[in-house]
Amino acid sequence: MNKITKIFSVVLSLIMVSSMLVIGVSAASLRKLDLAFVVDTTGSMGSDIYQVKTDIQAYLDDLDASGMDYRIAIVEYRDFPERTDDYADFAYRVSLDFSDNYDNISSSIKAIDLGDGGDWEETVLSALIDGLDSLSWRSEAGKAAILMGDAPALDPEPITGYTTEMAINKLVYDDVAYEDSRDYSLMSITSNFASQATARSKVTLFTIATSGNSETIACFDELASGTGGRSFTAGSSEDITGIITEIIDEIPEVVEDAETFWDKVLNFLMKIFYFITFQWDKL
């Protein structure tokens, strides 16, 4: 048993070293970007959305100047029609799946209409979990979303049961119920690897709270910081364009390139290595 374990660990070390040599450290700057706008389209958002419609050309010019191969998607959210009694409402709606066509992006933004939303809180979490999940992300692209709204999330969300923590897990690990295997048991390392090997890579979230409401700011701040992104507050609608420009400037530094399958394999082997190192006596 002891001999087998030793042979196993030597073989594993060889695999690890050769993997590192083959894969190398590819810290190239962000080349491909999939960027989703997630927008509250209830009544009070009128002047904020008007600002985005007016200045969309400027945002696309900034993205062109960045040299990234980018695509834009638009997800809207309001509230459950079952809650608001307004059947023009929805928990989320994909207004545009990822597109690099200027006319499609521009016309989709200009077509945004306003709904009701009922009470103050809205279905932010459905938009981040299910809305973003239904988009056609490129596996090899860096992934980011800009959330813009004036009201906090329904948390926990009625009907779905979604919480802020679940939304952060979904954005970072593509798994609402993700739990990191801090115990380094072989079972949990293996099952985490199995669930993450083919998952969508991390989505970095930037947020723009368009009201000074402290609950909204706290909610958006928690969501953005949970993904390694940043939260902004727009004092007035006129501030939104400056904030979006700042986010676009920051994206190449903050948003990570997609983790490749081989990055995940390497990460898995590292965890196995820790397992053997720390569990050596028990083996």
Residues that bind Ca ion (CB under 5 A): 79, 117-119, 122
Cβ closest to Ca ion, residue 72 vs residue 154: 154
* Shortest reach from residue 233's CB to Ca ion, in Å: 20
Which residue's CB is nearer to Ca ion, number 118 or number 252?
118
Residue nearest Ca ion by beta-carbon distance: 79
Contact 150, 213 (CB under 8 A): yes
DSSP E strand boundaries for 134-272: 142-149, 203-209, 231-233
CB closer to Ca ion, 34 vs 79: 79
Of the pair 85, 281, the CB lying nearest Ca ion is at 85
The token pair that represents 25 in the structure block: 């450290």
Contact 279, 183 (CB under 8 A): no
**Cα–Cα dist 235/104, whole Å:** 30
User: Would you tell me how many other CB atoms lie within 10 Å of the CB of residue 214?
Assistant: 10
d(CA 64, CA 102): 11
Q: Any idea what the Cα angle at residue 155 is, between residues 182 and 124, rounded to 5°? A: 100
Residue closer to Ca ion by CB (options 89, 222) is 89
The backbone torsions φ and ψ at residue 147, rounded to the nearest 5 degrees and listed phi first, read -95, 130
- Among residues 29 and 214, whose Cβ is nearest to Ca ion? 214
What minimum distance in Å lies between the beta carbon of 144 and Ca ion?
26
Minimum distance from residue 161 beta carbon to Ca ion (Å): 17
**Smallest gap, in angstroms, from Cβ of residue 151 to Ca ion?**
7
Shortest approach of Ca ion to residue 83 CB, angstroms?
A: 7
Separation of alpha carbons 70 and 54, rounded Å? 21
Q: Which of 98, 111, 187 is nearest to 145 (CA)?
A: 98
Shortest approach of Ca ion to residue 56 CB, angstroms?
Answer: 26
